[in-house]
Amino acid sequence: MDHSLKKALTKAKRKQMLKFTMISILVVMLLLPVFYRTGNYFAAKSTMRLHDALVMHHVISQPNVQMDSRVTSNRSMFGGNIVTNRSKNINGYVVPWSTLTSSYGWIQTEIDFNELIPGSYSSDTGFYEYDKQTKQKVATFYHPLIEDYHDGVQNQLAAVSEMENYVAEVAVSFDRPYTFAEVQGRIPDNLNIVWLYMTSEIRDESMGPAGMPVYGFAPGSSPDDASYAYFVETLKEYDDRGYNDAIQEFLSENAEKPLDDVEVLGVMLTGQTENFAALVGKDFIRGASVGVTAEMVPYITPEK
């Protein structure tokens, strides 16, 4: 091949390569903002889905747990985390509860169930579940149709009522379902009803905790049909595909009822420990499990 022709072909290839490179850079520069905006759009949508899922989960399945804040961290166009700081209100004493670090991407969101599932302690002297971060005891509800629990059905009312200068939360489980109106008539006025245990799946608990969530809601200081209606709508959205038999059965039987006529399986109560003595020996109580306790101090006045 003639040297001048070879040189011309090489020059032409270089020009073509340079042209291709310039076009590629231009395309990337044009597409990068589009890709960035698209990524942020999908990440933002996932963030909102995760926020909604966290709120929904706490409304229906976290007894006496408040979300103090939800902060987005490690955020990028591909995803990030939502850090949920939580606490419990024990008759006016706010105590820390486990912090959740949930994640989201373009498509999937994942609540931090690792921290939601309590740890457990077992020894020759007994068994209890605890919050993994704070190490506080988790109160247990007992379903009236589950006969055999691996550690038996505990009733710790007498023990907690003997504690002096403390406030406590206690999960009280009934021997059978009672209407909300009946429940209100059975609970002393000097105790707070902070959460209503409405339903849960019936599983074999004889070999150990099945780890199934309980479903219910906080009735508020002035329970009314509106607070119950919000719980029902949240429950419908939570199980919109109808996978949870316990939820679907509850909805079919109770969704249209007024709150006073709805049957309740148990209540989470808070109050000064000595006030729980009024419930000791009551035949409508199947079990009572103490959760968080806090020592009273002179500068914080209990709610009741």
Question: Which structure tokens are listed for 254?
Answer: 């109770």
pTM score of the predicted model? 0.86
Q: Which of 272, 34, 282 is nearest to 170 (CA)?
A: 272
pLDDT tens-digit series, residues 43-73: 678 889 999 999 999 999 999 999 999 999 8
Give me the residue spans of the domains in the chain. Answer: 123-295
* Distance in Å from the first CA to the final CA of the chain: 102
Q: Which of 135, 123, 9, 141 is nearest to 64 (CA)?
A: 141
pLDDT tens-digit series, residues 73-108: 887 777 889 999 999 999 999 999 999 999 998 888
What is the C-alpha separation between 287 and 277, in angstroms, rounded?
A: 14
Q: Which of 98, 183, 101 is nearest to 134 (CA)?
A: 98
Helix, strand, or coil (residue 97): strand
Residues of the chain under the 50 pLDDT cut: none
pLDDT of residue 44: 74
Cα 107 to chain centroid distance, Å, stands at 21
- Scan for tokens 């508020």, then name that residue: 220
Distances in Å between the alpha carbon of 301 and those of 65, 93, 226, 271, 290? 20, 8, 30, 12, 21
Helix or strand (DSSP H, E) at 103: strand 93-105
